[in-house]
């Protein structure tokens, strides 16, 4: 199944578009995110998710006025990650990348400000279809600096609301709790304070 998904930002100006190839338990996507906070940037990413909804590769490139960043994450499917990064230009941002050993055990990446990367934990545990709650360690990539960080998160099936499923997201790293609204494929329609999908 091929989908073109477009989101607009809610509390800060932001836009994202992703061309997604959705399999029974896998996904491939190419996307572009544009934002202005903490500085204007354009971010392009490639995401590969293999059988079992497990991230295998995330390649991210960010650029702004006279600066660029790149981060590539690779995952062996069993919790071991490698990270390579590069930066050019002078910009007041933390360095890209980080110690991959800090995210050992994670099966999923989580690209900052990106509504797409919520789909992997939701689909793997079918939280868009049935009750349950699961705790995760995520390989979280901050944006636009492309730093790599461990992030403890929890997803909980709340129920149905009209034609959509509600899943509660709890993120320890920034103390955020929000009820995500998902379509029938487990893809985000509404992420409170972040983005809403454009029809």
Q: State whether residue 98 is helix, strand or coil.
A: coil
pLDDT tens, position by position, for the chain (199 residues)? 999 999 999 999 999 999 999 999 999 999 999 999 999 999 999 999 999 999 999 999 999 999 999 999 999 999 999 999 999 999 999 999 999 999 999 999 999 999 999 999 999 999 999 999 999 999 999 999 999 999 999 999 999 988 899 999 999 877 889 999 999 999 999 999 999 999 8
What's the chain's Rg over C-alpha atoms? 16
- Residue 162 Ramachandran class (φ > 0 left, ψ -120 to 50 alpha, else beta): left
Q: Do 49 and 68 meet the contact criterion of CB atoms below 8 Å apart? A: no
Q: Mark 126-146 as b/e (b = at least 16 C-beta within 10 Å).
A: ebbeeeeeeebbbbbbbbbbb
Query: How distant, in Å, are the alpha carbons of 8, 19, 25, 45, 155 from that of 126?
Result: 26, 22, 11, 25, 11
Parallel, antiparallel or unpaired: strands 133-141 and 108-111:
parallel
Q: State whether residue 116 is helix, strand or coil.
A: helix
How many C-beta neighbours within 10 Å does residue 39 have? 14
- Quick one: pLDDT at residue 199? 82
Q: What span, in angstroms and rounded, lies between the C-alpha atoms of 62 and 179? A: 28
């Amino acid at each position: 199944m091929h989908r073109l998904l477009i989101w607009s930002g809610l509390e800060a100006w932001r836009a994202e578009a992703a061309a997604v190839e959705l399999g029974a338990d896998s996904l491939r996507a190419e996307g572009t995110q544009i934002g202005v906070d903490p500085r204007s940037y354009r971010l392009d990413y490639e995401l590969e998710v293999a059988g079992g909804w497990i991230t295998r590769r995330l390649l991210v490139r960010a650029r702004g006025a006279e600066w660029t960043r790149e981060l590539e994450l690779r995952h062996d499917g069993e919790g071991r990650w490698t990270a390579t990064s590069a930066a050019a230009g002078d910009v007041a941002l933390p360095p890209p990348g980080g110690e991959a050993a800090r995210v050992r055990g994670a099966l999923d990446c989580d690209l900052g400000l990106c509504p797409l990367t919520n789909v992997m934990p939701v689909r793997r545990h079918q939280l868009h279809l049935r009750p349950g709650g699961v705790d995760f360690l995520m390989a979280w990539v901050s944006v636009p600096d492309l730093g790599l960080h461990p992030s403890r998160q929890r997803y909980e099936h709340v129920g149905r609301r009209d034609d959509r499923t509600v899943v509660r997201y709890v993120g320890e790293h920034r103390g955020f709790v929000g009820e995500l609204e998902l379509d029938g494929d487990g893809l985000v329609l509404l992420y409170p304070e972040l983005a809403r999908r454009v029809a």
